[in-house]
């Protein structure tokens, strides 16, 4: 899979060490992390580990989360992409954007590009997004990228929702 994608306003690329300051700021925001991972902010060391995990996912699976860079400013503003750790129910498309950039449609733009890459490059037939039921903003993004509610899923005793989308059928 391409390690770099471009949309109208964004560059989706591999994480690099120079992203740590911006990524640690994003991961350290309690509101951003409210429904991500362990649902609590990360310190700088854990943000570094998270970046390393996403880079390792690329090595093991050949795809993964991209660092999201805003073209206009060159600023790294989040992560969006594909995720399928061991035991996951299906290939997930996920998004996490710096709070200052919420409400601009950037997660939707990058999410659509990620789904397109999954269907076109990986030739998968189905993608999902695993979303906390209280995360209304993420549910809206899922719906805007063409996903719909499929089922509930329990992970480590926590009830989550799976939204999904299937590859459009061609004749």
* Spatial distance between the Cα atoms of 18 and 85, rounded to a whole number of angstroms: 25
Q: Which residue's structure tokens are 């300051």?
A: 21
Residue 170: the pLDDT is 65
| Fold (topology level) of 5-166 | Aminopeptidase (3.40.630)
pLDDT cut 90: percent of the chain above it = 91
The full set of domain ranges for the chain reads 5-166
* Spatial distance between the Cα atoms of 111 and 14, rounded to a whole number of angstroms: 16
Q: Is the pLDDT of residue 1 over 60?
A: yes
Q: Is the pLDDT of residue 171 over 70?
A: no
């Amino acid at each position: 899979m391409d390690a770099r994608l471009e949309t109208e306003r964004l560059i989706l690329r591999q994480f690099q060490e120079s992203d740590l300051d911006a990524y640690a700021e994003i991961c350290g925001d309690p509101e951003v992390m409210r429904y991500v991972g362990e649902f609590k902010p990360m310190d700088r060391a854990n943000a570094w580990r998270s970046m390393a995990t996403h880079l390792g996912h690329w090595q093991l699976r050949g795809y993964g989360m991209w660092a999201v860079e805003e073209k206009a400013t060159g600023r790294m503003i989040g992560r969006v992409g594909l995720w399928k750790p061991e035991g996951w129910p299906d290939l997930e498309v996920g998004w996490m954007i710096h709070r200052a950039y919420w409400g601009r449609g950037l997660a939707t733009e990058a999410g659509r590009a990620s789904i397109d890459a999954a269907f076109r490059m990986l030739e998968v037939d189905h993608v999902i997004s695993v979303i906390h039921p209280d995360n209304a903003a993420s549910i809206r993004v899922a719906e805007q990228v063409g996903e719909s509610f499929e089922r509930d899923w329990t992970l480590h005793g926590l009830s989550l929702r799976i939204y999904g989308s299937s590859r459009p059928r061609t004749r």
